[in-house]
Amino acid sequence: MKPDNTIVPVASAMVGGPKLVLCGGPCSVEDRDQILASARAVKAAGGQLLRGGAYKPRTSPYAFQGLAVDGLKLLEEARAETGLGIVTEAIDVETFDLVERVADCIQIGARNMQNFSLLRRAGRARKPVLLKRGMSSTLEELLMAAEYILSEGNYHVILCERGVRTFADHTRNTLDLSVVPAVQALSHLPIIVDPSHGTGKRDKVHPMALAAVAAGASGLIVEVHPSPDRALSDGFQSLYPGQFTALAADCRALWDLLRERKNATL
């Protein structure tokens, strides 16, 4: 339809393509049972990608920092069992190789959106990159951060809106969905939305996921956990598996409707 737009293949998913891309999974990989249960739930809901951090950038040095290499191994196991593609974060150049080996898509987190050495390293990776918008990043800064990756030769960049910092206190961040059409007007890169960090509240994830699809996002990245109340991080914003199934079904129905109407107009 839009021959100029970049479609980024991640495992079986084509981000920016004709199907809605759904990525789900826990904030952090915690143990085998947790990640396998999460992966099965995502798979069962029709998701194509599994998220989960092995290396976690945490505000406090005393908080859980992720399982590191052990986490990566568990992600490989989850992929082997379910066939889901793996999206996991690289937090520094030192551990980048390890992440690159395992990931189907390497996430650069919001705090690292202007970690230019990390962006350059991602630009030399042979895997697609999911670049999250910084907490107070302008659109121009986001596109320039992507340019750091592109300029090193990696054209497989997916942008991600995950909420910005404002005075508003009814959500953890303010999800700025207008950046979705704004990116689409200026850039050929696909953009997805993270309604979990974007709201920070479990009961706001479903409506804002629908809103993101309606605004034109190519996909969603959503926190899902088999037992959110026992999660080591972000439990309050993680969906129960059943909630993710419902979200996925509603969002796909919405996607199909909007696509049909767009095709009918052409």
Contact, 50 vs 84, CB < 8 A?
A: yes
Between residues 69 and 254, which has the closer beta carbon with respect to its own copies?
254
Closest separation in Å from C-beta 92 to its own copies: 4
Q: How many Å apart are CA 218 and CA 158, to the nearest integer?
A: 10
Provide the binding-site residues for its own copies, judged by CB under 8 A.
Answer: 57-62, 91-94, 111-112, 114-118, 120, 135-136, 138-141, 144, 147-148, 151, 164-171, 174-182, 185, 198-199, 203-204, 207-208, 210-216, 246, 250, 253-254, 257-258, 261, 265
Q: Which two tokens stand for residue 18?
A: 């004709």
Helices (H) and strands (E) in the chain, counts: 9, 10
Query: What's the number of CA atoms in the CB half-sphere (13 Å) around residue 121?
Result: 21
Cα(120)–Cα(154) distance, integer angstroms: 9
Judged by beta carbon, residue 4 or residue 167, the one nearer its own copies is 167
How far apart, in whole angstroms, are the C-alpha atoms of residue 124 and residue 196?
29
Q: Which tokens belong to 105?
A: 């898509």
Tell me how far, at minimum, the Cβ of 229 lies from its own copies, in Å. Answer: 20
- Of the pair 9, 216, the CB lying nearest its own copies is at 216
- Output 176 or 223, the one with its CB closest to its own copies: 176
